[in-house]
């Protein structure tokens, strides 16, 4: 039996200024019903619009994660979400009378303390986890950024950072479970290098930042001109600007930078929309990379839900059997030309067609020399492609999928009775209702057919 969902017992507020917008704000955490998730509400705007914490709604990752819906935005949501996830809270309404949560001291410490002060309440519904059962990767080779979500029986995270700095040494941080978050991770502050501050301000960022809202690293000697530019932004700096940590309080942890990157990672991955069981490993993570990994995880969640919807009985090595295929596709004998789907991901799919002498087309197509017609090979390919479009359609029974173009069709070898045709399709472009795919068909590992396909998705109510 799983753990039940949780919310908070009473509203609790935090006030301050947003880090990047500089706007004054009061943020109020409120209890929310089961299966509500995390939703931000802009109470300062007409209609008090709500924005769910959803990775599909991320609109910017410049030094923070911004979500937006219909032109309304909430900036820098990651510390707020990290505090909620770290305390294993599932449902909360987060009201703001400004565009960005308060930065406070640059960590999630105050948010965590306030949520604990409000109290955590167990709800009746069981918590649904997404269990990572196969590796999910994100890689940026040019920036040495690599993230992976690996199978595990609980939520773990390991972060490694190396900025080539003589002050901010290469370091790592680890969270063995969410039980460690409030004591080991929540108080770790955001950080930046001193030379970045003026550039970030000129880019329209850190308007609400102060020397007290982040760990500031001085990498090199500071010239009088650089000091003057900084004092223009932050007021007189009475302290000596020499290589080291600018803040009077120093570091809270020797590896505070790595711990804060782990905090950001937990907050950004909250955008997948459900709690995780898996080990997240990250080298030099940032908001862009975190969000890209979150998108990949959410795509896996969606595929799992689609699979469970149509495939009633789970079978090893099989995604959809013939019964599930008939739930998805409108085709029937003699025009249903695929037998099973064995692989299904966000942009690719693999189907199988077993060719037997009992196929009706062999009666008239080269009698005495039975060969599967090339047009039917393309039709089988198109049917597999139609199932691939499940990723883009909430209710496949509400649409028709018409193939409107076939280009570069090539037939390399005859397909004959007894062959097992493996059909692989990859989505290369998707724009509104038009989808482009490349398809290849193999028998015994040898290419027998290939083509580029274009499909149009038409709602049935528009016909």
> What pLDDT digit, counting tens, does each position of 388-445 carry?
987 777 677 788 889 999 999 999 999 999 999 999 999 999 887 899 999 999 999 9
In this structure, are 340 and 444 located in the same domain?
Answer: yes
- The average confidence (pLDDT) of the chain is 91
The question of whether 260 is a catalytic residue gets the answer no
Domain termination residue (choose one: 268, 301, 334): 301
Distance separating alpha carbons of residues 54 and 49, to the nearest angstrom: 15
Distance separating alpha carbons of residues 100 and 44, to the nearest angstrom: 12
In angstroms, how far is the first alpha carbon of the chain from the final one? 47
**pLDDT, position 322:** 95
* Domain span at 136: 4-185+258-301
Q: How confident is the model at residue 1 (pLDDT cuts 50, 70, 90)?
A: very low
Q: Which residue has the tokens 């649409």?
A: 399
Rounded average pLDDT over 200-228: 73
In this structure, are 317 and 294 located in the same domain?
Answer: no
Distance separating alpha carbons of residues 64 and 76, to the nearest angstrom: 5
Residue pair 178/86 in contact by the 8 Å Cβ criterion: yes
Rounded average pLDDT over 245-254: 83
Q: Is residue 403 a part of any domain in this protein?
A: yes
Token output for 422 = 């493996």
Q: How confident is the model at residue 358 (pLDDT cuts 50, 70, 90)?
A: very high
In this predicted structure, which of 23-27, 189-193, 394-398 has the lowest mean pLDDT?
A: 394-398
In this structure, are 150 and 276 located in the same domain?
Answer: yes
In this structure, are 73 and 35 located in the same domain?
Answer: yes
How many domains is the chain partitioned into structurally? 2
In this structure, are 100 and 147 located in the same domain?
Answer: yes
Catalytic site residue from 17, 201, 287, 331: 287
The question of whether 79 is a catalytic residue gets the answer no
In this structure, are 132 and 17 located in the same domain?
Answer: yes
Domain termination residue (choose one: 301, 335, 355): 301
Catalytic site residue from 172, 253, 331, 365: 365
Q: How confident is the model at residue 31 (pLDDT cuts 50, 70, 90)?
A: very high
Q: Is residue 195 a part of any domain in this protein?
A: no
Q: Is residue 235 a part of any domain in this protein?
A: no
**pLDDT, position 211:** 67
Contacts within 8 Å (CB) and 24+ apart, 13-17: 13/114, 14/101, 14/102, 14/104, 14/110, 14/111, 14/114, 15/102, 16/102, 16/103, 16/104, 17/102, 17/103, 17/208
Token output for 329 = 């596709």
pTM here? 0.81
Domain termination residue (choose one: 271, 301, 331): 301
Q: Is 50 exceeded by the pLDDT of residue 362?
A: yes
Q: Is residue 155 a part of any domain in this protein?
A: yes
Rounded average pLDDT over 82-95: 98
Distance separating alpha carbons of residues 234 and 126, to the nearest angstrom: 49
In this structure, are 278 and 391 located in the same domain?
Answer: no
Q: CATH number of the domain at 413, please.
A: 3.10.129.10
Q: Is residue 360 a part of any domain in this protein?
A: yes
């Amino acid at each position: 039996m799983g753990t039940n969902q949780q919310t908070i017992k009473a509203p609790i507020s935090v006030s301050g200024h947003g880090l990047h917008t500089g706007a004054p704000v009061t943020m109020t955490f409120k209890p929310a019903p089961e299966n509500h998730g995390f939703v931000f509400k802009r109470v300062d705007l007409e209609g008090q619009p709500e924005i769910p914490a959803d990775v599909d709604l991320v609109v910017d990752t410049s030094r923070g994660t911004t979500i937006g819906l219909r032109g309304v935005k909430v900036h820098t949501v990651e510390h707020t979400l990290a505090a909620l996830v770290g305390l294993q809270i599932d449902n909360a309404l987060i009201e703001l009378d400004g565009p960005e949560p308060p930065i406070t001291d640059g960590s999630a410490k105050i948010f965590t303390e306030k949520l604990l002060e409000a109290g955590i309440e167990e709800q009746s519904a069981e918590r649904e986890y997404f269990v990572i059962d196969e590796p999910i990767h994100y890689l940026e080779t040019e920036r040495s950024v690599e993230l992976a979500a690996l199978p595990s029986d609980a939520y773990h995270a390991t972060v490694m950072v190396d900025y080539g700095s003589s002050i901010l040494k290469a370091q790592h941080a680890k969270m063995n479970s969410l039980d460690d978050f409030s004591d080991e991770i929540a108080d770790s502050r955001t950080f930046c290098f001193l030379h970045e501050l003026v550039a970030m301000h000129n880019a329209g960022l850190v308007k609400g930042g102060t020397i007290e809202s982040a760990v500031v690293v001085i990498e090199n000697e500071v010239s009088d001109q650089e000091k003057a530019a900084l004092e223009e932004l932050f007021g007189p700096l009475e302290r000596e600007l020499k290589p080291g940590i600018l803040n009077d309080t120093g570091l809270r942890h020797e590896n505070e930078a790595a711990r804060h990157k782990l905090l950001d990672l937990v907050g950004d991955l909250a955008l997948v929309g459900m709690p995780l069981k898996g080990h997240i490993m990250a080298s030099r993570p940032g908001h862009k990379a975190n969000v890209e990994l979150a998108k990949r995880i959410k795509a896996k969640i969606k595929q799992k839900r689609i699979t469970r919807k149509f495939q009633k009985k789970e079978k090893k090595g099989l995604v959809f059997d013939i019964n599930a295929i008939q739930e998805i596709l409108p085709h029937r004998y003699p025009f249903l030309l695929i037998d099973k789907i064995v692989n299904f991901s966000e942009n690719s799919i693999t189907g199988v067609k077993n060719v037997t002498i009992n196929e009706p087309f062999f009666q008239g197509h080269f009698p005495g020399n039975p060969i599967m017609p090339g047009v039917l090979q393309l039709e089988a390919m198109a049917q597999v492609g139609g199932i691939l479009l499940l990723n883009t359609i909430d209710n496949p029974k509400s649409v028709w999928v018409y193939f409107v173009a076939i280009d570069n069709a090539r037939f390399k070898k005859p397909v004959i009775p007894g062959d097992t045709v493996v059909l692989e399709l990859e989505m290369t472009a998707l724009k509104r209702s038009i989808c482009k795919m490349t398809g290849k068909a193999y028998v015994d590992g040898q290419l027998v057919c290939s083509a580029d396909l274009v499909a149009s998705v038409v709602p049935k109510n528009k016909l």
